[in-house]
Amino acid sequence: MIKKVLFPVSVIVIAAMLLASCAPAATQAPPTSTTAPSSPTTASVSPTSAPAATTAPTSAPAATAAATSAPAPSSGSPVTLQVWIYDSFTQPGAPIFAAVDQFQKDNPDIKIQLVPTTYGSTSYLNKYITAFQGGSGPDVLMSDVAWMPELAAMGALMQVDSQASSDIKNFYPGPVQTVTYNGHLYGLPFYTNDVGMFYNKTAFQNAGLTPPADGWTWADFIKDAKALTKGNMYGFGFEGGYGGTFEWYPWFWQNGGQLLNADGTSVAFNSPAGLEATKTFLGLTTTDKVVPPAAMTWKSWDELAAAFSSGVIAMFESGDYAIAPVKKANPSFQWGIAPLPMNKQKATVVGGADWAINANSKNAAAAYRWIQYITGPSVLNLMDGYDRLAARVGNTDQAIVKSDPNMQVLVSALQDSQARPSNPQWTNIDYNCLEPAFQKVLLQGADVTTAMNEAATCGNQKLAKK
Amino acid sequence: MRHDRWTGYLLIAPAFLALFGVIGYPLIRAFLMSLHEIILTDPGLGQPYVGLANYVASITNPLFAGALWRSAVWTGVNLVIQMVLGLAIALVLNEPFPWRGLARGITLIPWVTPSVVSVLTWRWMYDAQFGVINAALVGLGIVSQPVVWLGNTQTALWAVIGESIWKGTPFVAIMLLAALQAVPNELYDVAKVDGANAWKRLTHITLPLILPTLIIAATLTTIFTFNNFNAIWLMTQGGPLHATETLTILVYNQAFVAFDMGQATAIGMITFFILLVFVAIFGRYYIKSELNL
């Protein structure tokens, strides 16, 4: 009797489990799976936009679409904009909520619906690409500067040349580069950052070392890191879960390396200068042993900040975004930020975020008003609330820059900052060629030259595909 | 009475349609997708029909053989250890002892713990800097340096399997315990009178009588483990260097990291047919046992 019930039940259970193996197909099919319309007035997600997935969206009509849809909001109910934002920007009481309130007060015809989304290449970038290709996705998104070229090349972002022509003058040239692809504008810059060396002042003092200062060299750094590595403390740490590619960029540029050749048709990172920099950087782990083995699984700034604050590592490379986590951990020692050590030249890596509009958005005009506002004059104030530096001219007047010497170090290093290539394949090369190569060296003791040449072959294949 | 048959069909029609909607349609759609080249990041490509090219590309992809092997190790080791441990726990819990009810309840805790909670806890336990496992191993002098369980290509798969065994064994134990309770005590009494020792009673009475449940539990564990995505993804995302990339993780990576839906669905279909073999064994056994009874 029990068996007779059990049989059909287990058949259904098994069928459901089998179905899980085809999950990607199943979840990919419904285009609105990641973004459910929240209110009847929402015009942002429309099933009729689904066919866009199969055709190449051209960015040219963007300006005209914006122009024609401009009068629409004045009549009828307000439009709701779905806005993707890093989840770290929407903690309870975060400054963004006051900004949204102010914007809605000034623009009664627009409602902002923030959709906090976990930052990360799979959790944010890939999720957006999937939603976009399914014909949906948010109206507006905050995007890492590193993702912009790939998204623009894919046609996933709306071109804003005509609307942004005057606004764009309010931003520094570096950040403007990050919203520019093939000579066209695809958004407005939000904030910018570079990387410095967080260091444990007390540990330096206890070891009898001179604290790092502008102009210190690789040799100084390695000597200090070795001296700091004793007991339970290691001299340095990085995001080993990603092979440390992000922390490697400054070392590469400090040694005068070029990531791509002049016309962007092949990679150049396995040049002698590049190999030397890579050997030095990865050697910190493999030969100098100043990096804790535990670092090989670290994948977030929170983990690094935790390791730093608990005295596991005495130094790590990071930007202003790590200031808040370290402050929050309330370390029992004095700490500060120094410029990165230099070799042939000084260099640091520029990062940050931009605001962009989904090429599928039906509310382009309203969407532009939001990104214009959120990157407008009030952004200086907003960014103070996040301990970050706005990309807008005038950011040196931000309260946080004036009051925080660590911030001043990072701001003055901006002049030595370099950007990752705006080639749409670069993120792909970083994640799928360089990262595995570094991990082979770090985890399996592979030879740096061999691994980098493999990465170069891999990178050239990706460049040739496009 | 012919119309009665039609009434019957009519009555099962809603259930059939619902099943088709959630199983049949996605399956057919996945199969069709696997015959086309679909690269989400390259919409200009269109979706050309490529026949079995995705299957050829999948099978010749060096990552596929590795993932297939890891799926086999992952499923096989999980299955054997979970069955043996589960049976042992069930036998113990079937014996009368004080606080048995409480012990049975505690046994279920790993199984009812949400997957995310369990995986994140284990990730901390495995941590090389702060993890309790390394603290214990170093403290007892078994290792001199902490082992980076999840950041080492040699240990990552075993570490992930460890969590999965902890989480999956209670299910097996409880299923077998239910079967054990259905074994009539008279049989053991008779066997004792005949002079059968504990081992003989286990192999001649207990195991044959719980065999049907044992096979169901084994099949369900196999399918569940083979398809398990979150245990691996939340702990290592298939890394480092593909060391924990099973077929399920490979499908995800092809679909939502590489955005190659054609190859992803092709691998998904291959996975489906591998699992179908297990279901066939299960179904055959079931029909047979139904007929015998």
Residues of A in contact with B268 (CB under 8 A): 21-25
Residues ≥6 apart with Cβ < 8 Å to B237: A122, B249
Q: How far is A109 from chain B (nearest CA, A)?
A: 34
Q: Which two tokens stand for residue A273?
A: 């200068």
**Terminal C-alpha separation, chain A:** 62
Q: What is the predicted pLDDT for the residue at B7?
A: 87
**Within 10 Å of residue A114's Cβ, how many Cβ atoms?**
18
Per the DSSP assignment, residues forming a β-bridge with A191 are A353, A390
Instruction: Give me the mean pLDDT over the B112-137 stretch.
Output: 91
Q: Judge if A62-193+351-417 and A196-349+425-465 fold alike in CATH terms.
A: yes
- pLDDT tier at B128, thresholds 50, 70, 90: confident
Q: Which CATH superfamily is domain B58-292 in?
A: MetI-like (1.10.3720.10)
If you count residue pairs, one on A and one on B, with CB atoms under 8 Å apart, how many are there? 150
- The sign of the dihedral angle between the CA atoms of A323, A325, A327, A332 is negative
Query: Which of A21, A28, A293 is opposite residue B271, by nearest beta carbon?
Result: A21
Q: Which two tokens stand for residue A124?
A: 């944010």
Q: What is the predicted pLDDT for the residue at B288?
A: 73
Please report how many Cα atoms fall inside a 13 Å half-sphere around the Cα of residue A230, on the Cβ side.
Answer: 8
Smallest CA–CA distance from B265 into chain A, residue: A25
Mean pLDDT of chain A: 84
Q: How far is A99 from chain B (nearest CA, A)?
A: 33
Contact B49, B35 (CB under 8 A): yes
SS3 content of chain A, % helix, strand, coil (to 5): 50, 15, 35
Query: Which of A13, A29, A444 is opposite residue B153, by nearest beta carbon?
Result: A444
Distance CA B116, CA B113 (A): 8
pLDDT above 70: residue B115: yes
Residues ≥6 apart with Cβ < 8 Å to B120: B234
Position with higher pLDDT, B158 vs A329: B158
CA nearest neighbour of B34 among B233, B248, B240, B264? B264
- Amino acid A346 reads K
Beta strands at A180-181 and A184-185: parallel, antiparallel or unpaired: antiparallel
Contact B261 A25 (CB under 8 A): yes
- pLDDT tier at B232, thresholds 50, 70, 90: very high
Strands (E), A295-439: 315-318, 335-338, 348-349, 351-357, 389-390, 417-418
Smallest CA–CA distance from A438 into chain B, residue: B241
Distance CA A151, CA A157 (A): 6
Residues of B in contact with A129 (CB under 8 A): 40-41, 259
CA nearest neighbour of A377 among A357, A391, A387? A391
Q: What is the predicted pLDDT for the residue at A22?
A: 42
**Within 10 Å of residue B25's Cβ, how many Cβ atoms?**
12
Residues of A in contact with B148 (CB under 8 A): 293-294, 296-297
Which ranges of chain A have pLDDT less than 50? Answer: 1-6, 8-9, 11-13, 15-74
Q: What is the predicted pLDDT for the residue at B143?
A: 87
Smallest CA–CA distance from A240 into chain B, residue: B151
3 state DSSP class of A234 = strand
Please report how many Cα atoms fall inside a 13 Å half-sphere around the Cα of residue A430, on the Cβ side.
Answer: 20
* Packed helices B115-126 and B132-139: angle between N→C axes, nearest 10 degrees: 30
3 state DSSP class of B176 = helix
The CB-based long-range contact list for A90-96 (8 Å cut-off, 24+ gap) reads A90/A114, A90/A116, A94/A385, A94/A386, A95/A381, A95/A382, A95/A385, A95/A386, A96/A382
In chain A, what are the domain boundaries? 62-193+351-417, 196-349+425-465
Question: Is B124 in the A-facing interface, judged by CB distances under 8 Å?
Answer: no
pLDDT digits (tens, 9 = 90+) for A41-78: 333 333 333 333 333 333 333 333 344 344 444 456 78
Q: CA-based angle A292:A296:A302, to the nearest 5?
A: 85
> What are the strands of the beta sheet with A335-338, ordered from one edge?
A315-318, A196-200, A335-338
Residues of A in contact with B256 (CB under 8 A): 24, 122, 126, 130
- Tokens 């294949």, located at residue: A461
Distance CA B146, CA B126 (A): 10
Q: CA-based angle B222:B224:B229, to the nearest 5?
A: 125
Contact A306, A328 (CB under 8 A): no
Distance CA A437, CA A449 (A): 10
Q: What is the predicted pLDDT for the residue at A8?
A: 47
Tell me the CATH number of domain A62-193+351-417, given options 3.40.605.10, 3.40.190.10, 3.40.1160.10, 3.40.50.800. 3.40.190.10
Q: Which CATH superfamily is domain A196-349+425-465 in?
A: Periplasmic binding protein-like II (3.40.190.10)
Q: What is the predicted pLDDT for the residue at A5?
A: 46
Q: Which two tokens stand for residue A88?
A: 């770290």
Instruction: Give me the mean pLDDT over the B18-40 stretch.
Output: 91
Question: Is B146 in the A-facing interface, judged by CB distances under 8 Å?
Answer: yes
Q: How far is B194 from chain A (nearest CA, A)?
A: 32
The DSSP element (H or E) to which B105 belongs, if any, is helix B100-107
Distance CA B241, CA B239 (A): 5
Q: How far is A229 from chain B (nearest CA, A)?
A: 15
Q: Work out the burial of residue A317: count CB atoms within 10 Å of its CB; fewer than 13 is exposed, 13-18 middle, 19 or more buried.
A: buried
Q: DSSP letter for B215, please.
A: H
Strands (E), A135-174: 140-144
Contact A392, A379 (CB under 8 A): yes
Q: Which two tokens stand for residue B50?
A: 């490529």
Residues of B in contact with A13 (CB under 8 A): 220
Question: Is B129 in the A-facing interface, judged by CB distances under 8 Å?
Answer: yes
pLDDT digits (tens, 9 = 90+) for B163-219: 999 999 999 999 999 999 988 888 888 888 888 888 888 888 888 889 888 988 998
Query: Which of B30, B148, B150 is opposite residue A22, by nearest beta carbon?
Result: B30
Q: Which two tokens stand for residue B61?
A: 């992809």
The lowest-confidence range among A34-38, A93-97, B154-158, B244-248 is: A34-38
Q: What is the predicted pLDDT for the residue at A361?
A: 93
- pLDDT tier at B2, thresholds 50, 70, 90: low
Helices (H), A404-434: 405-413, 426-429
Contact B220 A14 (CB under 8 A): yes
Contact B150 A22 (CB under 8 A): no
Q: Which two tokens stand for residue A153?
A: 């090349």
Q: What is the predicted pLDDT for the residue at B279?
A: 84
Question: Is B43 in the A-facing interface, judged by CB distances under 8 Å?
Answer: yes
Contact B43 A133 (CB under 8 A): yes
3 state DSSP class of A197 = strand
Residues ≥6 apart with Cβ < 8 Å to A287: none
Question: Is B287 in the A-facing interface, judged by CB distances under 8 Å?
Answer: no
SS3 content of chain B, % helix, strand, coil (to 5): 75, 0, 20
> Mutate which of A297, A304, A308, A441 to test chain B, going by most B C-beta atoms within 10 A?
A297
3 state DSSP class of A55 = coil
Q: What is the predicted pLDDT for the residue at B291?
A: 61
Q: Which two tokens stand for residue A8?
A: 């059909």
Residues ≥6 apart with Cβ < 8 Å to B279: A14, A18, B219, B223
Question: Is B281 in the A-facing interface, judged by CB distances under 8 Å?
Answer: no
Distance CA A460, CA B57 (A): 20
3 state DSSP class of A405 = helix
Q: DSSP letter for A337, please.
A: E
Contact B268 A56 (CB under 8 A): no
**Helices H / strands E in chain A, number of each:** 21, 13
In chain B, what are the domain boundaries? 58-292
Residues of B in contact with A23 (CB under 8 A): 229, 251, 268
Residues of B in contact with A18 (CB under 8 A): 23, 223, 227, 272, 275-276, 279
pLDDT digits (tens, 9 = 90+) for B65-78: 999 999 999 999 99
The lowest-confidence range among A254-268, B238-252, B279-293 is: B279-293
Position with higher pLDDT, B5 vs B99: B99
Distance CA A200, CA B284 (A): 66
Q: DSSP letter for A429, please.
A: H
Instruction: Give me the mean pLDDT over the B126-148 stretch.
Output: 89
